[in-house]
Amino acid sequence: MNMQEVIEQRLTETLDPVFVEVVDETHMHNVPSNAQSHFKLTVVSPEFEGKTLLQQHRLVNEVLATEIPKIHALAIHTYTPDEWFERAGQAPASPQCMGGSKPSS
């Protein structure tokens, strides 16, 4: 399994998501295109209801505690099913990389 599939599986197993999408955005950055270093995830789960954004992201960080140290950057977009419906199913775009060398989010 590649990293994109691993992340997707971890989220699916733990958060009972209504929607989950993991995009390998490595090609947007100054590293070999097969480096599997930059990802963006969107996850919509009832688990996020009643939680602050910080708590929602902490939950994702915990679920991916093994994977995050292995990658350079991870954009995280979390929504409750209601919020996702209001957004009509659109997560924001990720930024271009500028070099640095520690995971970013």
Residues that bind other proteins (CB under 8 A): 53-54, 57-58, 61, 65, 68-69, 73-77, 92, 94-100, 102-105
Helix (H, G, I), strand (E, B) or coil at 31: coil
Q: Closest approach of Cβ 28 to other proteins, in Å? A: 9
Q: Closest approach of Cβ 75 to other proteins, in Å? A: 6
Q: Closest approach of Cβ 50 to other proteins, in Å? A: 17
Q: How far is residue 65's CA from residue 58's CA, in Å, rounded to a whole number? A: 10
Residues 6+ apart with CB under 8 A from 81: 18, 44, 45, 46
Nearer to other proteins, 1 or 54 (CB): 54
Q: Closest approach of Cβ 104 to other proteins, in Å? A: 4
Nearer to other proteins, 50 or 99 (CB): 99
Nearer to other proteins, 23 or 97 (CB): 97
Residues 6+ apart with CB under 8 A from 73: 25, 29, 37, 38, 39, 97, 103, 104, 105
Which residue in the block uniquely carries the two structure tokens 């093994």? 66
